[in-house]
Amino acid sequence: MIYQIYPRSFMDSNGAGVGDLAGVTQKLDYLTWLGVDAVWLSPIYPSPMADFGYDVADYTGVHPLFGTLDDVDRLLAETHGRGLKLILDVVPNHTSDEHPWFVASRSSRDNPKRDWYIWRDPAPDGAPPNNWLGMFGGDAWVYDEATGQYYLHLFDKKQPDLNWRNPEVRAAMCDALRFWLDRGVDGFRVDVIWLMIKDALFRDNPANPDWRPGDSPGNRQIKLYVEDRPEVHEIVREMRATLDSYGLGERVLIGEIYLPLPRLMTYYGADGRLDECHLPFNFSLLERPWDARTVRQTIEEYEAELPHGAWPNWVLGNHDKTRIASRVGTAQARVAQLLLLTLRGTPTCYYGDELGMQDVPIPHELARDPQEILSPGYGRDPERTPMQWDASPHAGFSTATPWLPVAADYRDVNVAAEQDDPHAMLTLVRRLLESRRATPALTVGTVRTLDAGQPDTLAYLREADGGRVLVVLNFGATPYTLDLRQAGATGTVLVATGLDREGSIDLAHLSLAGNGGLVIKTT
Ligand code: NOJ
């Protein structure tokens, strides 16, 4: 399992109210205990923090808030010493406007770095060069008085987009990747990889007729001319080749991509070559309705679309989306973990979801997230609040007041309270990871959905080397008795959402609690 850490919110080692690298290192034993395989850190680079690190001012440094390069080296040594991998976030689509590259680029029209960014003349009436909108809301262009041109920013205006058609930009970013790979980093999660190349003709985007208030502000337009352009694949291949030069299969390339499944799959590589992302993030579970029928269709569609030999992956949460426990409720959150950790492929868990952490309401006046500031109601602060370690003040996250408030329920929902509680969500997640590792059908087995015969229920079989595991999930509150003899006559419960379920089980009369889930080894 990949475990995503939002460094500002994981563990503060020095009383700054903001998490740091030494804090992550302190908590590695927890991650090992839990059964994590790899840690992905959201950006740790120097940054004015207009988008909390996704506005990078130096690709090869560390923000003093988080620590130093020595802290990275220490963290690397400690993760590797425990058999874990460390994945960094890389943000190549845009820099901070305070990055020296952009400072040079905006200084004059003939600066050698001018073409490193996307500068365009105004329209004849002085308006922006085209109608493109930013993902956080508002125009994607900012007029620069001094040089009389507009620059493009798909996100905040403090995040100008790099010009990936310029070979010098590519070479510079490749050097940055090597800097970290040389230090021993195990791979990258690449921010908005599918947006890196824009239309060469800068054509207007069409309006999105399906956009409704409440949908994300970036979806007001169909992003036809800014996303998923054919030329982007060449860049992805280049990045992959850079990683592969450190040994085939040694370093991982993960792409952040929000696209319909058939288009997502093209980021594994064209024509069956698998020479792009190892894992184009699969956000289907985040994007689609939460019900048994949709999830079944999603599994079937995803599996059918996967290119031959491509390794699947599933994501249940991240720093941009409502937490799963808030979205589906506390009881369903357990079912969700059971699903995530028994599907075929690499699961990604967002820090705190293993505890059942919820979004924390943050009033607009206290918002820190630029998306909330530009588009009230769309903020991402609620899912970025401090990790809940124990019942002490500030949930054991910090000795100082944290940068975002701690959840009100932290005295009950925290690692210390859950670690020894057999009923806790954390215990369930740990058991699932344990079973997963010990059971080839769950780690490498095939997946086949079954007809569970009742609404709200989903069943699938995982199979490898003659071993068979049946997973049964109830997406509703009504209990059912199911006939699942198609999966075998009897079985033994490996993991269950409720503790009362142990030992052998008759698959002809399988009773499934409301909001319940079972992982059963069948015979
Ligand atoms: C995607 C990141 O996940 C998000 O947090 C960020 O705001 C944008 N990319 C811009 O970098």
Q: How confident is the model at residue 302 (pLDDT cuts 50, 70, 90)?
A: very high
What average pLDDT does this structure show over 193-218? 92
Beta-carbon contacts of residue 197 (< 8 Å; ≥ 6 apart): 164, 165, 229, 231, 232, 235
Is residue 500 scored above 90 in pLDDT?
no
pLDDT in the model for residue 1 = 98
Which of 191, 195, 374, 381 has most ligand 1 atoms within 8 Å of CB, for mutation? 191
pLDDT in the model for residue 213 = 83
What average pLDDT does this structure show over 107-117? 98
* Catalytic-role residue among 51, 256, 383, 418: 256
Note if 191 is an active site residue. Answer: yes
Atom of ligand 1 nearest to the CA of 370: 7
DSSP character at residue 307: P
Terminal CA-CA length for the chain: 27
Predicted model pTM: 0.97
Which of 42, 51, 135 has most ligand 1 atoms within 8 Å of CB, for mutation? 51
Q: How many CA atoms lie within 13 A of 216 on its CB side?
A: 17
What average pLDDT does this structure show over 196-225? 92
Of the listed ranges 86-95, 328-337, 380-389, 502-511, the least confidently predicted one is 502-511
Is residue 285 scored above 90 in pLDDT?
yes
Phi/psi of residue 333, nearest 5 degrees: -60, -30
Note if 256 is an active site residue. Answer: yes
What average pLDDT does this structure show over 333-358? 98
* Catalytic-role residue among 12, 20, 51, 191: 191
> Cα of 54 to ligand 1 centre, how many Å?
6
pLDDT in the model for residue 218 = 80
Is residue 118 scored above 80 in pLDDT?
yes
Beta-carbon contacts of residue 406 (< 8 Å; ≥ 6 apart): 360, 385, 386, 388, 394, 395, 397
Atom of ligand 1 nearest to the CA of 55: 11
pLDDT in the model for residue 278 = 98
DSSP character at residue 464: E
> Cα of 66 to ligand 1 centre, how many Å?
19
> Cα of 105 to ligand 1 centre, how many Å?
23
Mean predicted lDDT score pLDDT of the chain? 96
Q: How confident is the model at residue 74 (pLDDT cuts 50, 70, 90)?
A: very high
The closest residue, in CA terms, to atom 6 on ligand 1 is 54
Phi/psi of residue 55, nearest 5 degrees: -120, 90
Q: What share of the chain is helix, strand, coil (3-state, %, to 5)?
A: 30, 20, 50
pLDDT in the model for residue 470 = 98
pLDDT in the model for residue 503 = 81
Nearest residue to 338 via CA among 232, 428, 263, 234: 428
For 508-519, the pLDDT digits (tens) are: 999 999 999 999
Q: From CA 81, how far away is CA 76, in angstroms rounded?
A: 8
Atom of ligand 1 nearest to the CA of 54: 11
The closest residue, in CA terms, to atom 2 on ligand 1 is 191
Q: What percent of the chain has pLDDT over 90?
A: 94
What are the pocket residues of ligand 1 if the criterion is a CB atom closer than 6 Å to any ligand atom?
51, 54, 91, 155, 191-192, 256, 319-320
> Cα of 142 to ligand 1 centre, how many Å?
19
Residue 520 is encoded by which pair of tokens? 């059963």
Residue 306, CA distances (Å) to 194, 268, 312 in order: 18, 9, 7
pLDDT in the model for residue 116 = 98
